[in-house]
Amino acid sequence: MASTARIYRGTSANLALLARHLRAGRLVAVPTETVYGLAGDATSRAACERIFAAKGRPASDPLIVHIASLRDLARVAAPNGAALKLARAFWPGPLTLILPKTDAVPDAATAGLPSVAVRMPSHPLFRRLIRLAGVPLAAPSANPFGYVSPTTADHVRKHLGSRIRHILDGGPSSIGLESTIIDLRNPRRPVLLRPGAVTRGAVARVLGIPVSRALKPSTHGAQVSPGQMARHYSPRTPVVLHDGLTARTVASGSPEDAWLFISKPRGKVVSRFPGRNVFWLDAKGDLRRASRRLFAALRELDEGGFRLIHAERPRGRGLAEALADRLSRAASR
């Protein structure tokens, strides 16, 4: 089906128009510093249901509610002291907090649970749009459910453009991975539900207490947070994850396969399939640049006609944990 979506530049007139669409319950794909999101009025059950329908997203997978200022937090959630510490340290930015919800947020946005995922994005166009709309905006990634997240307006139009009409172009996402999610329903026992650019160690330093990693979530019933499915962020081409890729590994593979390294491999690997089968996220292995590149690379390889995508698993803590999480879910079967 042909795309019906229009891409808008971030002019004042366009932002005012898109804000009117949002107030009327319509959907707008929006840029964020993490990935592009599909936004709708978070206080409207009908708008939230339209998001689920457009994405093909199961109702058990809750939405993240986005606010423009800390003053708006109490409108959608009941903050505690730990939440306020993290908000002051990391907002606006790529950190989502799980807190008890208020009645302003419909159950359709939270999978029927009494908690809500909330964050304040740092992308200036998105924050201006939230202010102009005058309502908090629910905005999961703007792609068909389970597929690789979009990091440009063109990604959105290519895969969701036949289901929505409005896309705000704010340039490529500067981070490229979805936000870190911390469960603060019990502020004395913070839990990392999804790693991201705000690392578990950074959160623990601000709170002054350890942050545990969530146990494997249930595959049945409502999820407390988005991004908990075992298979997620996945290209159609199967992904095989390796703890290490070497020239011997590549040499033993098929010329129909792609090989995705974190950093540029040495010459023997590249010369095996020069210019066609061997790819890397960043020449020097810088994890911030690699994160920014990951989803675009997976999309490109998915469209390359390969039989399999062999990917290298990053090692270590911090941002490496977030990259490994996305690749593990992309490779899950």
Residue ranges, comma separated, of all CATH 3.90.870.10 domains in the chain are 6-213
Whether CATH 3.90.870.10 fits 6-213: yes
- pLDDT for the residue 272: 56
Which residues have CB under 8 Å from 99's CB, separation 6+? 77, 78, 79, 80, 83, 115, 116, 118, 184, 185
Average pLDDT over residues 106-117: 96
pTM above 0.85, yes or no: yes
Sheet holding 137-138, edge to edge: 6-8, 166-168, 28-30, 37-41, 137-138, 64-66, 115-119, 95-100, 180-183, 191-194, 212-213
DSSP annotation string for 294-333: HHHHHHHHHTTT-S-EEEEPP-SSTHHHHHHHHHHHHH--
Give percent of the chain with pLDDT exceeding 70.
Answer: 93
Mind listing the pLDDT tens digit for each residue in 178-230?
Answer: 999 999 999 999 999 999 999 999 999 999 999 999 876 555 667 887 777 66
Question: Would you identify the CATH topology of the domain 239-331?
Answer: Rossmann fold (3.40.50)
Average pLDDT over residues 327-333: 89
Mind listing the pLDDT tens digit for each residue in 248-262?
Answer: 788 778 889 999 999
Q: Indicate whether 130 pLDDT > 90.
A: yes
Q: Backbone phi, then psi, for 313, in 5-degree steps?
A: -85, 125
Q: What is the mean pLDDT of the chain?
A: 92
- pLDDT for the residue 146: 86
Q: Backbone phi, then psi, for 86, in 5-degree steps?
A: -70, -40
- pLDDT for the residue 223: 84
Distance CA 294, CA 150 (A): 10
Residue ranges, comma separated, of all CATH 3.40.50 domains in the chain are 239-331
- pLDDT for the residue 122: 98
Q: Indicate whether 136 pLDDT > 80.
A: yes
Mind listing the pLDDT tens digit for each residue in 257-315?
Answer: 999 999 988 765 655 555 578 899 999 999 999 999 999 999 999 999 999 999 999 98
DSSP annotation string for 113-144: -SEEEEE----HHHHHHHHHHTS-EE--BSSS
Which residues have CB under 8 Å from 87's CB, separation 6+? 70, 73, 79, 97, 120
Mind listing the pLDDT tens digit for each residue in 92-106?
Answer: 999 999 999 999 999
Element (H, E) at 282: strand 278-282
